[in-house]
Structure formats: structure tokens, C-alpha cells
Amino acid sequence: MSFNLRFAVFFALLACSCHTQTAVQQPQTAKNQPPASGAGGLVPYQMQDPGLILYKPADWTVTPQHTATDLHIVVSEPGGASRVEADFADNRKMNLNSLTLLASFTRQMKQNHPDLNLSETMACKDPAISCAVTTIAYAASGVPMKGRYFFHADNVQAVGRGYQAPAAQFDGKRPLLLDVLTNIHLVPAGAQAAAAKPPLNVQFTQRSASDGSWRLSLPSDWAVTGAQGKVLAGSPDGGSGFLFTSFTIFPPRYMGIQLPPQAIVSAYQPPQQSIGVIWQKFNNRQIHIIASKADPQTAGYCTVQLRKRCEAADVQLSWVSPKGVACTGSFKVLNGVPSVTGEWFSIVAGIWGPSNNMDQYLPVLDQVARSFSINDQYAQEYIQEGMQNLRALQAQTQQAINGLYSAIDDSRRAAEARSDSRERSVDAFSDYMLGNSYWISDVEGGKVYATDPWGTEDTQTQQRLEGAPYDYINFTGQNPNYPSEQMREVTSYDLNHLQ
């Protein structure tokens, strides 16, 4: 990855001369129809009391156990070696947090598996410690096992979820286990029929920009446009999609020039308001800002690099598309304050789906977002962060479940994204903006070399090599002591979790 290309992808989005109105036209006609059966051969399983619906392979077994305040579900393959688990408990009196749940889970596991080992354990940093995640390893009848577990607690419900499989099969079975886990839903009594919507069975195709600046995997009927690191992709009815692009916005009186009809005209607005201005320009209506949260860290990066003040926020909103589809979306919005001539820019990155059918579309949006690949790593991370925000939004806006089930089943991927993906994306973005990179030498037993804007340092001996070709801009990973070795590049996040 070249330094110039990495910076070109980011700052091309900020260039005032870069107009993207033609790249955000709504995709054309034709209505998506969900298939009649579940994806990948999954079949529905329903339980009336308490209300539950999930999707599983036909030959897998569901074992529910429940009391007045607790529901535990195990979905297992024949023989039980690979399985998915979910536990829901009333938290209105217990006031548990995610670390309490994790500790209880660990104690129970160690009763049967004293060799239990935890790794990659992290927790949310909010005051309530609302989420935690860990990887487990142990041996069952001499067979090494591996699993991943997620914990979430709020003032209504405490939830633990996870999946495990023989370690040798874990990576191969993980996609199926996640599909089963994602599609476990608690529903109010009598609402099972309304909730019984199978995951979509979508055919994906590889698409790329005309200039080769990005690649992604899309449903075959989606429209896509964009270049220079910017992209808009969406379903035929405009009801689902994602984008990563920039907009130049002009002041109402712009140097006495008559602006073209497609230009966006507005006085400066902060992110939570500017996205409404942009959405209206493209004939969306009934735009409602559901929630917004300032992101001073991203704004600070922008300010340092551009030497002008920026504002950034995570914004969740709903709207009705020009084709009449009610949509819900989550976006990272970064605005640069006006120049001396009054124009300003807005970068918008995120995803959206149909408001009344989000459960079905989340796996599709997840696959699209994760497939997005350009030569700028932070862009990919922020698209995935948009997925995190949309999952959180889904959990916040769906109908509450009465009694024990008054809180919606919080997706396992939301917990993972809040604790792991966000930390990874922030660290990668920090490395990128500060001009740091880290390289591991396998020849030297895992020694780490660190680059910065001035040179490369051996972190064990503190020996430094200054100037090109050892600075961050030019260093390509050739081991200074063993030139035949091409070292592995890692982020600071990866480095911290290797130690």
C-alpha cells in the first residue's frame, strides 16, 4: 500500500472540486421479494411459551430450559460437539453488568472443564459496562474445543450468547454458527407468525470501481456507482444499501454565481443536521434523526490533517425513499467548516435497510460492508462501524417484549462490534493518521520494528534508522538486518493483543 494512495483516498473525499451528486442517484425500479425459505437450508423452530423463534439446520436439536426469570437455549448439531447457546435473564432486580455475567459463565464452565482458558477478553468502557466478549478454549474428552461468547446487560435484561466447536473445525463452522446465533429472537406471545421471516437467500457478485480504487461483493440486483474511493450501492427500490462518499455544499449566496440545480445549497450545519439537508436533496422525505453522538476523536484527526476545524458524529435516522420504502440507517458524518468563500464539505459513510424488515437484511448488509475493500484501511473499518451502529439502532427501536422479554434480543454481532471492531478501527485509524506502522520479523523470533514519519526503530535494541527508505512513507517491510525477509505489517491493535 503506497503512502500517496492512502492519503489520496481520504483527502480526495475532502476536495471541494470533487462533486458527487451524480454518484448518489437513487437506484432504479423493481421490487425485492424475499424468498419463501431460509438461507443455506436453515429451517424455522418456534416455541410458544415463552415466545421464541430461531433458524437452524434441519437435523440440529433445540434444547430449551426456562424458569419464571430465565431462559436458556442450546442449539446443537448431531452429537453435540458444535453448538450455539443463548441465555436471557430478568435484570430488573439483579442489576448485573457484563463482567458479572462473564465471571458467572467462567465459574460454571470451570466446574466441568478445569483447564478452561480465556483469551481476547474485552469489555465496553461505558459506566454501566454494558457489554463484554471473550474467546474460550478447553478440552472435552481429549478433543480441543474453541468458542466465542458475548455478554450484554442493561436495566431490564441480562443476555449471554456464544458458539463453540472442535478447535480444528472452528473456522470452517463459524459462519453457520453465527447465522444460527444471529437468528435467535424472543417475541411477544402470539406474535410468532409475524416474526417468522427467514434470512434472505441472496446471490452475491463481485463488483469493482472503474478506476480500480475499490472492490466489493453485492447482491446481483443491486446498482452501484462511484470511483476514487467513493461508492454508493443500493437495492433496486432504494430500500437498502451503503455508501462512502463526500459532498461539497455551497452557501446560499456563493460569490454571485448561479449554481446548477444539482448543487447542494445550505449554510453550515453540524453533522446531525447536515445529513438531513443532503437526504432532502435526493428526494427522500419524512427524515427523522433518531439519535446522534458526537465523535470528537474523528473530528480531531480531521483538524490535525487539514488544519481547519471539523465536526464528526454517529447519526442514526429514518426516512422514506423516493420509491416509498421506509428506511432506517446509521452513518458516520464528518463535516469541515466553511472556507473563506463559504463552501464546506461533508463525508458520509454508512448503511441502511428497510425499517420493517431489518432482521432479514442485517446479514446481507453485514456481508456487503465486510466485503468492501479499498487501499485505505480506515474506510473499510468505518463501514463496519456503521454496521455496529445499525445493529444497536435495531435493538433500540424494535417493540419491547412484555415482562421478562421486554428487551429485544440484542444481536451477538452488536456486542462483538462494540467491544472489538470499534477498538480495532480506532487503533487502525490512529496509526494511519499519526504516520505509524508496525512490522514483525519471524526470522528474529517475533521482534517488532516500528516506523514513524522520520524512520524505523528496532523496539528491542532502540536502534534507529533515519530517513528514506526507513520512514513511514517509504518503508515497505524489508528487514534491515536480514534483507531477504519481508516482514509482516500489523496495527497497534494487533500488536497489543499479541503481547
Same structural domain, 253 and 328: yes
Alpha-carbon distance values, 15 to 231, 246, 248, 264, 335 (Å)? 16, 9, 8, 15, 12
Same structural domain, 188 and 317: no
The bridge status of strand 70-76 relative to strand 117-123 is unpaired
Same structural domain, 383 and 258: yes
Task: List the pLDDT tens digit at each of the 499 positions of the chain.
Answer: 332 333 333 333 333 333 333 233 333 332 333 223 333 468 888 877 677 788 889 899 999 887 767 888 999 999 889 999 998 888 877 888 888 889 999 999 999 999 999 988 887 776 778 778 889 999 999 999 999 998 888 877 888 889 999 999 998 898 888 888 877 877 654 444 444 455 677 888 989 888 777 888 999 999 998 877 788 999 998 899 988 888 888 888 776 677 777 788 889 999 999 999 999 988 898 998 888 888 888 888 777 766 778 898 888 888 999 888 889 888 888 898 888 878 888 988 888 988 877 777 877 888 888 788 776 555 666 666 666 666 665 554 443 333 333 333 333 344 444 445 545 555 555 555 556 788 888 788 788 898 877 789 998 888 888 887 887 767 888 898 888 888 888 877 666 665 4
Establish how many alpha carbons lie within 13 A of residue 382's alpha carbon, considering only the half-sphere containing its beta carbon. Answer: 24
DSSP class of residue 365 equals H
Contact 417, 391 (CB under 8 A): yes
Same structural domain, 356 and 460: no
Residue 108 covered by a domain = yes
Residue 411 covered by a domain = no
**Rounded Cα–Cα distance for residues 347 and 244 (Å):** 8
**Rounded Cα–Cα distance for residues 418 and 393 (Å):** 13
Domain housing 269: 3-34+200-398
One-letter-per-residue 3-state SS of 160-214: EEEEEEEHHHHHHHHHHHHHHHHCCEECCCCCHHHHCCCCCCCCEEEEECCCCCE
Residue 367 covered by a domain = yes
Q: Which of 166, 195, 224 is the last residue of a domain?
A: 195
Contact 469, 475 (CB under 8 A): yes
Contact 223, 237 (CB under 8 A): no
Contact 274, 335 (CB under 8 A): yes
pTM for the model stands at 0.47
Same structural domain, 190 and 204: no
Same structural domain, 134 and 252: no
Q: Which phi and psi (to 5°) does residue 443 adopt?
A: -60, -35
The bridge status of strand 185-186 relative to strand 285-294 is unpaired
Residue 418 covered by a domain = no
Same structural domain, 347 and 452: no
Contact 311, 329 (CB under 8 A): no
Contact 435, 452 (CB under 8 A): yes
Looking at the 3D structure of the chain, how many domains does it have? 3
Contact 246, 13 (CB under 8 A): yes
Whether the ω angle into residue 469 lies within 30 degrees of 0, i.e. cis, is: yes
Q: Which of 195, 230, 264 is the last residue of a domain?
A: 195
Which residue matches cell numbers 483527502?
A: 11
Q: Which of 195, 210, 239 is the last residue of a domain?
A: 195
- Torsion (CA) 423, 426, 430, 432 in degrees, nearest 10: 110
Which alpha helices (DSSP H) does 251-317 contain, by range? Answer: 271-281, 296-306
Q: List beta partners, residue 164.
A: 83, 147
